[in-house]
Amino acid sequence: MAPRILLARHGQTEWSLLGRHTGRTDIPLLDEGREGAKLLGERLHRSRWAGLDGFEIRTSPLARARETCELAGFGERAQPWDTLMEWDYGAYEGMTPAEIQAIRPGWFIWRDGVPEGESLEQLSARADEVVAWARSADRDVLVFAHGHILRSIAARWLGEHVSFAARIRLDPTSLSALGWAYGAPAIERWNDTGHLEG
Protein backbone atom coordinates (compact mmCIF):
# COMPACT_ATOMS: atom_id res chain seq x y z
CA MET A 1 0.00 0.00 0.00
CA ALA A 2 1.32 3.44 -0.88
CA PRO A 3 0.73 5.71 2.14
CA ARG A 4 -1.61 8.68 2.02
CA ILE A 5 -1.72 11.78 4.18
CA LEU A 6 -4.90 13.49 5.35
CA LEU A 7 -4.55 17.17 6.17
CA ALA A 8 -6.92 18.88 8.62
CA ARG A 9 -6.60 22.63 9.00
CA HIS A 10 -7.52 24.02 12.40
CA GLY A 11 -10.87 25.72 13.01
CA GLN A 12 -11.64 29.41 12.71
CA THR A 13 -9.84 31.86 15.02
CA GLU A 14 -10.26 35.61 15.41
CA TRP A 15 -7.06 36.25 13.49
CA SER A 16 -7.87 33.83 10.65
CA LEU A 17 -11.27 35.50 10.34
CA LEU A 18 -9.55 38.91 10.05
CA GLY A 19 -6.86 37.63 7.67
CA ARG A 20 -4.01 38.27 10.13
CA HIS A 21 -0.83 36.22 9.69
CA THR A 22 -0.97 33.85 12.64
CA GLY A 23 2.30 32.02 12.98
CA ARG A 24 3.52 31.18 16.47
CA THR A 25 1.01 33.35 18.39
CA ASP A 26 -1.17 30.89 20.29
CA ILE A 27 -4.63 32.11 19.31
CA PRO A 28 -7.63 30.07 20.60
CA LEU A 29 -10.47 28.81 18.43
CA LEU A 30 -13.67 30.81 18.13
CA ASP A 31 -16.95 29.05 18.96
CA GLU A 32 -17.42 28.65 15.19
CA GLY A 33 -14.03 26.93 15.01
CA ARG A 34 -14.92 24.58 17.86
CA GLU A 35 -18.19 23.62 16.20
CA GLY A 36 -16.42 23.05 12.88
CA ALA A 37 -13.87 20.79 14.59
CA LYS A 38 -16.66 18.66 16.05
CA LEU A 39 -18.31 18.39 12.63
CA LEU A 40 -14.98 17.37 11.07
CA GLY A 41 -14.63 14.71 13.74
CA GLU A 42 -18.13 13.37 13.09
CA ARG A 43 -17.24 13.07 9.42
CA LEU A 44 -13.99 11.24 10.10
CA HIS A 45 -15.67 8.80 12.49
CA ARG A 46 -18.37 7.64 10.06
CA SER A 47 -18.73 6.06 6.64
CA ARG A 48 -15.59 5.62 4.57
CA TRP A 49 -13.27 7.05 7.21
CA ALA A 50 -14.62 5.00 10.16
CA GLY A 51 -12.40 6.56 12.81
CA LEU A 52 -9.24 6.12 10.75
CA ASP A 53 -8.21 2.84 12.33
CA GLY A 54 -4.56 2.18 11.60
CA PHE A 55 -3.76 5.82 10.86
CA GLU A 56 -0.85 7.49 12.64
CA ILE A 57 -1.94 10.93 13.88
CA ARG A 58 0.13 14.01 14.67
CA THR A 59 -0.77 17.58 15.53
CA SER A 60 0.89 20.95 15.74
CA PRO A 61 1.38 21.76 19.42
CA LEU A 62 -0.22 25.20 18.99
CA ALA A 63 -3.58 25.47 20.78
CA ARG A 64 -5.76 26.07 17.71
CA ALA A 65 -4.57 22.88 15.99
CA ARG A 66 -4.36 20.80 19.15
CA GLU A 67 -7.90 21.77 20.20
CA THR A 68 -9.23 21.02 16.70
CA CYS A 69 -7.64 17.58 16.96
CA GLU A 70 -9.13 16.99 20.42
CA LEU A 71 -12.63 18.18 19.48
CA ALA A 72 -12.50 15.98 16.38
CA GLY A 73 -11.97 13.02 18.71
CA PHE A 74 -8.31 12.23 18.03
CA GLY A 75 -6.60 13.92 20.98
CA GLU A 76 -5.65 10.70 22.77
CA ARG A 77 -4.15 9.19 19.60
CA ALA A 78 -2.29 12.28 18.40
CA GLN A 79 1.37 13.01 18.99
CA PRO A 80 2.36 16.72 19.11
CA TRP A 81 5.05 17.58 16.57
CA ASP A 82 6.82 20.95 16.35
CA THR A 83 7.48 20.37 12.64
CA LEU A 84 3.76 20.99 12.02
CA MET A 85 3.81 24.49 13.54
CA GLU A 86 2.76 27.35 11.29
CA TRP A 87 5.26 29.47 9.34
CA ASP A 88 7.16 31.82 11.65
CA TYR A 89 6.13 35.20 10.17
CA GLY A 90 8.70 37.15 12.16
CA ALA A 91 8.12 40.91 11.89
CA TYR A 92 4.86 40.33 9.99
CA GLU A 93 3.20 38.29 12.75
CA GLY A 94 -0.35 39.54 13.35
CA MET A 95 -0.42 41.76 10.26
CA THR A 96 -2.83 41.48 7.33
CA PRO A 97 -1.54 41.38 3.75
CA ALA A 98 -2.98 44.88 3.20
CA GLU A 99 -1.04 46.24 6.19
CA ILE A 100 2.15 44.67 4.87
CA GLN A 101 1.51 46.02 1.35
CA ALA A 102 1.21 49.52 2.82
CA ILE A 103 4.82 49.37 4.05
CA ARG A 104 6.17 47.07 1.32
CA PRO A 105 4.28 47.59 -1.97
CA GLY A 106 4.28 44.57 -4.27
CA TRP A 107 5.11 42.15 -1.45
CA PHE A 108 4.17 38.51 -2.10
CA ILE A 109 4.81 36.10 0.76
CA TRP A 110 5.49 33.07 -1.44
CA ARG A 111 8.22 34.98 -3.30
CA ASP A 112 9.52 37.54 -0.82
CA GLY A 113 9.17 35.72 2.48
CA VAL A 114 9.16 37.53 5.82
CA PRO A 115 11.81 39.54 7.68
CA GLU A 116 13.07 38.22 11.03
CA GLY A 117 11.12 34.98 10.54
CA GLU A 118 11.40 31.64 8.80
CA SER A 119 12.75 31.62 5.25
CA LEU A 120 11.03 29.85 2.37
CA GLU A 121 13.89 27.35 2.40
CA GLN A 122 13.34 26.59 6.09
CA LEU A 123 9.59 26.22 5.54
CA SER A 124 10.24 23.89 2.60
CA ALA A 125 12.64 21.78 4.69
CA ARG A 126 9.97 21.32 7.37
CA ALA A 127 7.41 20.35 4.73
CA ASP A 128 9.90 17.84 3.31
CA GLU A 129 10.31 16.33 6.78
CA VAL A 130 6.55 15.77 7.03
CA VAL A 131 6.40 14.25 3.54
CA ALA A 132 9.31 11.90 4.31
CA TRP A 133 7.64 10.81 7.57
CA ALA A 134 4.27 10.26 5.85
CA ARG A 135 5.88 8.06 3.19
CA SER A 136 8.09 6.18 5.64
CA ALA A 137 5.85 3.23 6.50
CA ASP A 138 3.00 1.07 5.31
CA ARG A 139 0.20 3.09 6.93
CA ASP A 140 -1.81 6.28 6.30
CA VAL A 141 -1.43 9.42 8.41
CA LEU A 142 -3.58 12.33 9.57
CA VAL A 143 -2.15 15.70 10.60
CA PHE A 144 -3.81 18.68 12.25
CA ALA A 145 -2.01 21.92 11.46
CA HIS A 146 -2.19 25.36 9.83
CA GLY A 147 -2.89 26.87 6.43
CA HIS A 148 0.55 27.77 5.13
CA ILE A 149 2.42 24.73 6.44
CA LEU A 150 -0.26 22.38 5.09
CA ARG A 151 -0.16 24.10 1.69
CA SER A 152 3.63 23.76 1.74
CA ILE A 153 3.35 20.05 2.54
CA ALA A 154 1.03 19.61 -0.44
CA ALA A 155 3.43 21.44 -2.77
CA ARG A 156 6.36 19.32 -1.66
CA TRP A 157 4.30 16.08 -1.78
CA LEU A 158 3.77 16.84 -5.47
CA GLY A 159 7.47 17.58 -5.97
CA GLU A 160 6.82 21.27 -6.63
CA HIS A 161 8.75 24.23 -5.26
CA VAL A 162 7.24 25.40 -1.97
CA SER A 163 5.99 28.58 -3.73
CA PHE A 164 3.45 26.39 -5.58
CA ALA A 165 1.50 26.57 -2.31
CA ALA A 166 0.33 30.04 -3.39
CA ARG A 167 -1.96 28.34 -5.91
CA ILE A 168 -3.78 26.06 -3.48
CA ARG A 169 -5.96 27.92 -0.99
CA LEU A 170 -7.02 26.23 2.21
CA ASP A 171 -9.96 27.21 4.42
CA PRO A 172 -10.27 26.74 8.19
CA THR A 173 -11.50 23.30 9.30
CA SER A 174 -11.01 21.88 5.80
CA LEU A 175 -10.07 18.31 4.98
CA SER A 176 -7.61 17.41 2.22
CA ALA A 177 -6.00 14.15 1.10
CA LEU A 178 -2.70 13.57 -0.67
CA GLY A 179 -2.16 10.22 -2.30
CA TRP A 180 -1.16 8.69 -5.60
CA ALA A 181 -2.33 8.46 -9.21
CA TYR A 182 -0.62 6.27 -11.82
CA GLY A 183 2.24 5.74 -9.39
CA ALA A 184 2.92 9.47 -8.93
CA PRO A 185 2.09 11.77 -6.00
CA ALA A 186 -1.31 13.38 -6.44
CA ILE A 187 -3.99 15.44 -4.72
CA GLU A 188 -6.97 13.18 -4.00
CA ARG A 189 -9.12 15.80 -2.27
CA TRP A 190 -8.51 19.47 -1.55
CA ASN A 191 -10.06 22.12 0.70
CA ASP A 192 -13.14 19.99 1.34
CA THR A 193 -15.49 21.70 3.79
CA GLY A 194 -18.60 19.61 3.07
CA HIS A 195 -18.92 18.75 6.77
CA LEU A 196 -19.51 22.45 7.52
CA GLU A 197 -22.40 22.80 5.07
CA GLY A 198 -25.11 21.19 7.15
- Catalytic residue positions, numbered: 10, 86
CA distance 31 to 29: 7
Strand order from edge to edge, sheet including 5-9: 78-80, 56-59, 141-145, 5-9, 175-181, 184-192
Closest by CA position to 64, among listed 94, 35, 100, 34: 34
Gyration radius of the chain over CA positions: 16
* Interatomic CA distance for residues 154 and 190, integer angstroms: 10
Give the C-alpha separation, 53 to 57, whole Å. Answer: 10
- CA-to-CA distance for 96 and 155, rounded, in angstroms? 23
